[in-house]
Structures are given as structure tokens and as C-alpha cells.
Structure 1
Amino acid sequence: MFVSGGAPRGTCARRRLVCSTTQPGASARTKRSKPAWAGSDEWLSKLINLLIQTPWVYALLKRQAKAVIRRTAEARGIAWHGFAQALEQAGVASYFSPRVDLVYPSYYTKPFHAYDEGNLCWEAAYEVEPATYAMALRIWPQERELTWLDAQRRLRHLFLDQVARFMAEKDDTGIARVRVAIDVGCGAGVSTRFLADYLSQHVSADALLSVHGVDLSPYFLAVAKLRNEQSNAADLCNLAPNVRIEYHQALAESLPFDDDAADLITLQFVAHELPRDATKTIIRELVRVARCGGCIALVDNDPRSPVIQNLPPALFTLMKSTEPHSDDYYAFDLEECLRQTTGIASVDVVACDPRHRAILCQVRKER
């Protein structure tokens, strides 16, 4: 049952609802809509941007930003350089198959994450996994006994538990009815593997489950495809025989799927790397691909998080220096954009951990 009272035959009834809740253990969301260090209208943000635009300062910030995350990784048992060596030895380059017809948007070719070539280089691909694992550890800095794998699992499951809860509220079968899931902006496939594993625990063993990862970077996808064939990857779950993962290089604005193709579409830690115009276009594309009654689920930095809003100056300066679209992301009312998007019937916003929010949407389309 999607909507109380049901919908006319041949249509999906439309309603708009938004509620905001907090996951146990997460910080309560603040009334302030964004951090003072983000946006074009804040003096602090303007000062930081001026520093970032100064070449010698930017060069220093870029080196320091990578050093901070690398130190976190190595201090907690993540072999930063070991990942690159292992990937090279495993022949990751043989999985590199870029589409020659693909034109990269200008917003994507900017320097990202302290890499001059952004996500379009081997260095970024070699380091994306250890960086991803280290970032999860930084969410719970006081838990010194927390392993990097447990931190990553907690991060993913706190989000996916909310997806399961939301889908169960909209339909008695809930997440168990998912047969096709798409992970947009999958990177090297860490999020895709956790998604596939989570779904496999809820879907009937005799049902075929197809999970698709989509990304623009052929370098990241080479890593993802290699991991897909490895049984000893650190976070690679032993997936059930009925689960299939496939990867695709494509624009999120133009997904390689038919209309109404997916029961669940996720956008995990992607929106903060997009300008708002691209985000709006991508949201419309997600609605096109999602089935009526399906779920679109986003997780990303929460502009209303007290932790995010109160980051020390050194940290938020480093963060902004590696994220060229930060100001636009934090100033953009993504939740309201989703509520106003044709085809989205309800929106639920949840603070799923101290830094991140899940935005969960049910799709309703007239047939």
C-alpha cells in the first residue's frame, strides 16, 4: 500500500510530505540552514575563498588536505600505499575501458580532492579506497577501537537501514521487493558492494537481484571491475549466487537505462561534488529511471549538522580547498528541490550519523 486509501486504477496518487528526524546517535539538526564558512553571502566564506584562490596558499592547502586523510588512514591500520601496489600487481589497468564518445561536463574536470586532474587519473583511483575508509573513521573520532572496516560498515548500514525503514513504511514488502538497484556515482564500487550485500540479506534467495554501479571516471570503474572479480577484497562481501553487480561509465544526467527500470536508486556522497544545476538535471533523470512506487535515496554532508557547522577553521578550509562546489552545495536547498520535483510524492530527511543526512524519496508517476 503506497498511499492511504489507494490510488485510482492506472495512476499513482500524488502527495507531498516532508518530515525531519534524527537517527539515534546522530546529532540533532540545527535551525541554521548552512555553515558560516559556506556560501557566497558569508564574510568567512569569502575570506576562505580568497585564500584558496591564492596559488601558493592553494598549493599548500592541497598538500595538507591529502596529508590529513593519509595520516588518519595509516594511524588506523589502512595501508595507504599498499592499495596502489596491490592494484598495480593485480593488473587493474587491464580493466580500463573509457568510452571514447563520452564528453565530460566542465564541472567534473575541475581539480577534486587534491588531484589536479580530479577523478580522471590513476593516482585518484589508487587512493580512493583508503581515503573512503579513512573518512568513515573521522565520523567517530573518539572510538579509537573502531576498525576502519567496522566504521565503513556502520556508515553504510546507518544509511541503508533508513532506506529499508522508509520503503517498509510505503509498501508492506519494503526493501524485499527490490530486484533492480542503481548506485549512481559509485566511484570504485565501495558503496555498490555494500548496497548489494545489504539487499541480498533482504531479498528472497530465489529472486535475481541486479545491482548497477554508474560513474563517470573510467579509472575508478577499473578498480570497481577488478574488485568485482576478487574474492579477497577487504570489504568485498561474499554475495549470494542470485546477486549480480555490473558497472557502467555514463553521465548521471543520461543514465543507460530505460524508463521505470529500477526499484531503488542511490546517490551516495555525490551531491556535494555537483553544482546545483547539474543536481536538478540528475534528479529528473533519477525520477525517469525509477519505477512508480520506487525509492530514490541520497546520503551526503548535512548542512544542518552541528559537527559540520562547527568544524575547526583549519579543517573546513582544507575541505573547501578540495571541493570546488562546496559553496553551491551548502547554499542549495536540496530538500526543497526534491519536494518540488515532478514525480516525487514524499520526502523524508533523517540525520543518519553526526555528519550526514539521508534524503529518502518515493516516486509516483502517472501512467
Structure 2
Amino acid sequence: MEIGEAKKILGEVYSFSADDLNNVIQELNLPGDAKILDVGTGMGSMAITIALHGFQVITGEPGDDETIYARQNWQENARKVKVESLIEFKAFNAGKMPFADGLFDAVFLLGALHHIPAEERPEVFRELVRIAKSGGIICFFEPRQKVIDMIRQKDPAHPDSAEPENYRPEGDLTLRQTTGENFDAFIYTLA
């Protein structure tokens, strides 16, 4: 299914991030057998967009997360666009993930970093580096300020966007940044 058709089926909330995500996924040109992780499932936008490109993806968030941003009906959204068979959910904490070292070709976080307490972000970034392969990608999507302002109309306590570079661990990581309409992408490549 094309991204345009998925946007029509899933509506405004999905459409809000779909083009920014789709552009980066296309640009990364990942191999067809890439092992991919989506950290912070939410409504499933990241995992669904990855799956629309034909990739298998593991997605997850903490099993005890009761915030309005977690536990959304991502499975129903995935079913609507016929990609549920490509998405596997696992409950996990981003600071201590149940995955082997160097397992993933790409790890994505859509609007998740700024929901992690600031003091835990360095540990989470180290975990992302640990589970990514050499030459692998870690990609953070963080909302632009206009998006934060819009969200705060309904959720005044919503946190500011996070700057991943502030939490970057030691090691050989190359950063490339892209600006989307609603989300900026911080794309790290591991040496």
C-alpha cells in the first residue's frame, strides 16, 4: 500500500507525521532483510510506516506505561492498512532492552525521547548504541516547536522536544540531521 492511501485510511493523526517518516525511510535505503526496532509504539505510526515499505519491525514500549501516549490501538491501525503481520510488539523499557548487542540495522524513535526523563536519556542512548549493528542507524524523530505548541493546546504539561545530541554517548557516531514539515530527524550512523 502506498503512503498516500494509508494516510486516507488512518486519518489526520497518522498523516501528521507520515510524510516526514516516509521521506527518511526512503532516503536510508535499508536492505530488504534489515532488522528494525521502533522504540515507543504509541499509535503505531513509526512501525506502520516502516512496514508499509515491506520491512518486518519489532515495536515496543514499557508494559506499565499508562500515559495517554502509550497503549494506543496501534494493532487496529496496522490491520486497517494490512501490515499487522509485519509488526511484532514486545513490552520493554528503553533503558534496559531485552535485545542482544549489535542486533538491529536500524532503530527508530518517533517523538519518544522527550517523554523519557532527562536523567535517563544518556542511558537510553547508550542502550540504542549497544543494540545497533556496526554501520547501523539510530534515528530520532522529534517534533518541531510548532507541533509542541499545538499539542500543548490539549496537553499543557507536554514536555519540550529533546535534542539527542545532548545525550550522545562516547563513541564513533556520525550525525546527519534533516528538517521535516512537523518532525526533525536526527540520524546517527554507528562506525
Q: TM-score, normalised by structure 1?
A: 0.43
Higher relative contact order (CA 8 A, sep 6+): 1
CA shift for structure 1 position 214: 1.1
Partner of 2:38: 183
How many angstroms does 1:244 deviate by? 3.2
Offset, 1:189: 2.8
Q: 2:106 aligns with which of 264, 287, 292?
A: 264
The offset of 1:274, in angstroms, is 1.9
Q: Which of 155, 160, 167 matches 1:337?
A: 167
Q: Deviations over 1:10-35 (max 9, x none)?
A: xxxxxxxxxxxxxxxxxxxxxxxxxx
**CA distance in 1: counterparts of 2:26 and 2:129, whole angstroms:** 19
The answer to whether residue 33 in structure 2 is matched with residue 160 in structure 1 is: no
CA contact (8 A) 1:178 1:263 kept: no
SS of the residue corresponding to residue 100 of structure 2 reads coil
Task: Pick one of 173, 176, 190 that aligns with 1:348.
Answer: 176
**In 1: Cα distance, 2:37 partner to 2:128 partner:** 10
Residues 163, 360 of structure 1: 8 Å contact kept: no
Unpaired segments of 5 or more residues in structure 1? 1-135, 137-145, 168-173, 201-208
CA-atom RMSD, angstroms?
3.3
Q: What 5-or-longer segments of structure 2 have no aligned partner?
A: 1-6
Which residue number corresponds to residue 212 of structure 1?
58
1:279 maps to 2:121: yes
Deviations 1:134-164 (A, max 9, x none): xx9xxxxxxxxx8863762462232232243
| Post-superposition CA distance 1:51-105 (Å, at most 9, x none) | xxxxxxxxxxxxxxxxxxxxxxxxxxxxxxxxxxxxxxxxxxxxxxxxxxxxxxx
Q: Normalising by the residue count of structure 2, what TM-score does the alignment of the two structures yield?
A: 0.76
Bigger fraction of residues in strand: 2
**Matches of 1:181 and 1:147 in 2, distance apart?**
24
Aligned CA distance change for structure 1 residues 360 and 163 (closer, same or farther; 3 Å): farther
Cα drift, residue 185 of structure 1? 0.6
Equivalent residue in structure 2 for 1:301, among 132, 137, 143: 143
Matched, 1:237 2:82: yes
The structural deviation recorded for 1:181 is 0.4
Q: Say if 1:178 and 1:336 are closer, same or farther in 2 by CA, change over 3 A.
A: farther
State the structure with more CA Rg: 1
1:318 Cα deviation (Å)? Answer: 4.8
Aligned 8 A contact 1:194 1:237 in 2: no
Q: Name the structure 2 match of 1:192.
A: 47
